[in-house]
Structure 1
Amino acid sequence: MPRRRTAALLSVLALSLTGCGAQVAHDDTSAKAAGYPVTVKNCGKPLTFDKAPSRVVTNDVNIADLMFALGLEDRMAGYVMPTYKGDLDKVAWRDAYDKVPWLSKKAITKEIALDAKADLVFAGWSYGFGEGNDLTPASLKKLGIGSYVLTESCRNGGSGSSRGVMPPLEALYTDLENLGKIFHVEDRATKLIKDYRRQTADVRAKIPKDGHRPSVFLYDSGQDKPMTAGAFAAPDDIITKAGGDNLTKDVKDSWTTVGWETVVERDPDVIVINDYGTPSAAQKKKFLLSYPPLADVSAVKNHRIFVLDYADLVESPRNPAAVTALARYLRTVHTD
């Protein structure tokens, strides 16, 4: 993709920005847009828009899903993501992936945003934003490009760069509500949130009443140390609302690593594999079943290993369906 950094482009993209990354620019006409300005709270900071962004670039499948679920594909300049999109047959917005340009299968960069003439980049900390690649709301602000940070990824002021500021599904509902206000699709956002809350409530009503909750370990990747989900990653809420008990719920972070000794000591009843294609879910399962330290772990001994897509397990509109699918599996575990 050609990299253009012309003064003319920067002039077109020039925005007046505030908060943690974006007050979308306005001229005299856009300042008079009906219903604006709109201010939302993003990662604890106010974010003000004088008009609806019209050239949004998203990073990763879950963030594109958020835009598509709200019917906002016409507001997008494109999306950045690897080849793995999960099972698109399960989602109502499948056609949107063919309508919106796929800008890159590699990491999002400032050059991609500039080339797309983006007025807003929607990404998250370690979901595209990061100091190491010099792609942050602050660096985009200097280029006149606004930012919105995925709520699941908000930094929480803990040790290092730990993330998460609210229960994971509340993060989903927060972003849907915020996007509804930013783009004036409040009715659609409200309906989605209502439907998702009802879906998870229906699942909770079917959880066995005897108090037994199978313990569940989320396995993302890693052989020396496993990547897993702490209290602020979507799997914590998915597991809990499905009737399970997240093995690493005490880790006050979102996606993070733990030691295998923690897994062995806590002895999960079930392991959920996060499938994003490479390595395959089958390869991950083979590793778990053959890794000697796990030989006596209940989930391994009983071959209780369940697979969900990556797009199901990061903050996205696919989370409620993942709750339903996992709950169905956990009920079989409960009755064994």
Structure 2
Amino acid sequence: MISVRLALAATTLVVLGHQASAEPTKYPLSLDNCGQAIRFDHAPESVVTVGQTGTEMLYALGLAERVKGTSVWFNEVLPDYKEANAKIERLAENHPSFESVVAKRPQLVTSQFEWHVGPQGVTATREQFSDLGIPTYIMPADCVGKDNDTGGDGTRSTAFTIDSVYQAVTELSEIFDVQDKGEALLADMKTREAAASEKAKALGLEGKTAAFWFSSADIQIDPYMAGQKGIPAYVMNKIGLKNIVQSDEEWPVVGWETVAKADPDIIFIARMDRRRFPADDYQVKLDFLRRDPVTSQMKAVKENRIVVVDAHAVHAGIRIPMGIEAIVDGLEKTYAAK
């Protein structure tokens, strides 16, 4: 109890220190975002989010009242924001149309993926929004050290680090002139990630292997697994695990025979509310792993070392530290049961 109080006190001091040093935004503000210059003459009064990461990040910055529409949801909103979120129109569970976004007359559109708002955006290109005088902000994690022209979910040239998420928090807090809240959020995220990583050391997982199964276009075909440089690999590294998948693709398709041959010590599977594919249902994944003649022979399946993780915990947003906490708790229970 004493150590918890000391940690909370330390966090409070850090937060207060950040608040004292925060400087107000000087408009006009110009930023380079994923290779495009964006400019703000004042803080946007309205924003539409294409992607849950931007939505929850803005909520965490105290900007829910400025969010006029949301879209692209993987899991339920965090409990702290449930009441505010219920008052905001959900334009689409997956891909919003250009018309539905524009109809909200936003002064800013944020996008989690270039796949939605980018050169071949399924919602629109950045130029289409720019032609209407609407700036677009792409989450830096989807373009920093990442090539999205390779198809699928893109390929990473450099490994993901949480710094790109911190960059988004800093830039959005500057755009909306809420730097004090941005710095408080960063302090909390950094403290939680460090504490969860430290807790993981006690599990003795260093050197053990893991695989992360996100989903599959069809349960009978090869799955989408986490690549070696993406967010799940970053999380694995934080708790001492090694990803068996060596591809630089964000979510490469990997054959089950290949996964079984590597025989990971632990398997993570994504839980999501989205139902784009049948395998989005984590119970479908679990049933497959236990019944398929190939996957059922893996030691992680035989020993029930399968950890269910919220899909959004491995997206580039404020949930990453929470995801590490949840994974460590899940692993702690899994190993304690043996």
**Would the TM-score normalized by the shorter structure come out above 0.5?**
yes
Counterpart residue type for residue 185 of structure 1: V
The answer to whether structure 1 residue 55 and structure 2 residue 40 are counterparts is no
C-alpha distance in 2 between matches for 1:286 and 1:126: 33
Equivalences for residues 66-77 of structure 1 within 5 A: 66-77=57-68
1:272 equivalent to 2:268? Answer yes
How much has 1:179 moved relative to structure 2?
Answer: 0.6
2:193 counterpart SS class:
helix
Match of 1:116 among 97, 104, 111: 104
Following the alignment from structure 1 to structure 2, what is the Cα–Cα distance between the partners of residues 185 and 166? 30
CA shift for structure 1 position 128: 2.2
Amino acid at match of 1:257: V
Q: Separation in 2 of the partners of 1:170 and 1:231?
A: 18
Rate the CA distance shift 1:34–1:311 in 2: closer, same or farther, 3 A.
closer
Mean Cα deviation higher: 176-185 or 296-305: 296-305
AA aligned to 1:60 is: G
Cα distance between partner residues in 2 of 1:322 and 1:112: 32
Provide closer, same or farther for how the CA distance between residues 216 and 44 of structure 1 changes in structure 2, counting only shifts above 3 A: farther
Where in structure 2 are the equivalents of 1:19-168 lying within 5 Å? 35-82=26-73, 85-86=75-76, 88-89=78-79, 92-125=80-113, 128-129=116-117, 131=120, 133=122, 135-154=124-143, 156-157=146-147, 160-161=150-151, 162-164=154-156, 167-168=160-161
Identical aligned residues as a percent: 26
Q: Which residue of 2 aligns with 1:19?
A: none
Question: In structure 1, what is the Cα distance between the partners aligned to 2:285 and 2:295?
Answer: 13
After TM superposition, the score normalised by the length of structure 1 is: 0.80
Indicate the residue corresponding to 1:301 in structure 2.
Answer: 302
Match for 2:235 among 230, 234, 238? 238
| Cα distance change, pair 195–34 in 1 and its aligned pair in 2 (3 A) | closer
3-state SS of paired residue (2:162) = helix
Q: 1:219 to 1:111 in 2, by over 3 A?
A: same
Any unmatched runs of 5+ in structure 1? 1-32
- CA distance 1:321–1:213, shift in 2 (3 Å): farther
Check 1:182–1:87 CA distance in 2 against 1; reply closer, same or farther (3 A cut): closer
Secondary structure, aligned partner of 1:196: helix
Q: How many Å apart are 1:76 and its aligned residue?
A: 1.6
> What residue is the counterpart of 1:199 in the other structure?
192
Q: 2:209 aligns with which of 212, 215, 226?
A: 215
The residue aligned with 1:28 is none
Deviations 1:165-216 (A, max 9, x none): 6524222111111111111111111111111111111122231496734322
Whether 2:251 is the aligned partner of 1:255: answer yes
* CA distance in 2 between partners of 1:270 and 1:45 (Å): 40
Q: Does the Cα contact within 8 Å between 2:203 and 2:332 map onto a contact in 1?
A: no
The number of residues matched between the two structures is 300
Say if 1:59 and 1:127, in contact at 8 Å, map to a contact too: no
Q: Could you tell which deviates more after superposition, 147-156 or 320-329?
A: 147-156
TM-score, with normalisation over the residues of structure 2?
Answer: 0.79
Deviation at 1:117, TM superposition (A): 0.9
CA contact (8 A) 2:72 2:94 kept: yes
Q: CA deviation at 1:251?
A: 2.6
| Letter aligned with residue 103 of structure 2 | D
